[in-house]
Amino acid sequence: MENKAPETIPYLVHESHVARLERTIKRLWILCIIIFLALIGTNAYWIWYESQWEDQVVTQEIKQDSGEGGTVNYNGLMIGVGDGETDHKADSQDTEAQDGR
Residue 47 pLDDT level (bands cut at 50, 70, 90):
very high
Residue 13 within any structural domain of the chain: yes
Of 82, 87, 95, residue with least CA distance to 73? 82
Rounded Cα distance, 58 and 53, in Å: 15
Which residue segment(s) compose the domain that 36 sits in? 9-52
Q: Are 78 and 62 in contact (CB under 8 A)?
A: no
Mean pLDDT for the chain?
Answer: 75
Rounded Cα distance, 66 and 98, in Å: 22
pLDDT at 45 (0 to 100): 97
pLDDT at 13 (0 to 100): 86
Count structural domains, the chain.
2
pLDDT surpassing 60 at residue 49: yes
Return the half-sphere exposure (C-beta side, CA atoms, 13 A cut-off) of residue 89. Answer: 0
Residue 58 within any structural domain of the chain: no
Residue 22 within any structural domain of the chain: yes
CA dihedral (60, 79, 91, 70) positive or negative: positive
pLDDT surpassing 90 at residue 20: yes
Q: Is the pTM of this model over 0.95?
A: no
Give residue-wise pLDDT tens across range 27-45: 999 999 999 999 999 999 9
14 and 47 assigned to the same domain: yes
Rounded Cα distance, 23 and 15, in Å: 12
pLDDT at 94 (0 to 100): 52
